[in-house]
């Protein structure tokens, strides 16, 4: 009887151990799955940014100095872009696209930093985002293009 109980306890322990931990690597997605999930992430981030921009535009004086408004827009809206970059990085790149996805995430992070450093340029053009936009297009992440 003791043998049977010990066997049961050992079996349960092995089952519990198998269900815990595991790999911390993200799941490997197909290119289509990656594009679908990545585009969803970016579409949601874009909606959030547009909402922030609209709220700030409503409260700003169009005849006043726009530089502080532009800086506030970038400071409040860029976290949505940075969050999208982080989420894309966590998706798990399609096989063979790992370096490109890593480059995209890095380019998005760099673009956010450049936008924060020069809010005026970021508000009136896509210059800080060009590298990230090119990589996003190559990965079929049209919603990630600024």
- Summarize pLDDT for 15-25 with one digit per residue, the tens: 333 334 334 45
CA distance 120 to 97: 34
Going by the DSSP 8-state scheme, the letter that residue 62 receives in this structure is T
- Residue 27's pLDDT is 67
CA distance 17 to 13: 6
**Non-local CB neighbours of 42 within 8 Å, separated by 6+ positions:** 84, 88, 136, 141, 143, 144
- Residue 99's pLDDT is 97
Low-confidence ranges of the chain (pLDDT < 70): 1-27
What count of Cα atoms within 13 Å lies in the side-chain half-sphere of residue 61? 4
For the whole model, what pTM was predicted?
A: 0.77
């Amino acid at each position: 009887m003791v043998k049977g109980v010990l066997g049961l306890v050992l079996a349960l322990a092995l089952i519990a151990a198998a269900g815990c931990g595991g790999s911390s690597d993200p799941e490997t997605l197909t290119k289509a799955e990656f594009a679908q999930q990545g585009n969803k992430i970016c579409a949601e981030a874009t909606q959030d940014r547009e909402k922030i921009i609209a709220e700030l535009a409503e409260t700003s004086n169009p005849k006043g100095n726009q530089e502080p408004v532009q800086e506030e827009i970038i400071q409040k809206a860029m976290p949505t872009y940075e969050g999208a970059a982080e989420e894309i990085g966590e998706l798990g790149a399609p096989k063979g696209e790992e370096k490109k996805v890593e480059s995209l995430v890095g380019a998005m992070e760099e673009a956010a930093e450049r936008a924060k450093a020069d809010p005026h340029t970021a508000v009136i053009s896509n210059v800080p985002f060009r590298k990230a936009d090119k990589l996003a297009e190559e990965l079929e992440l049209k919603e990630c293009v600024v």
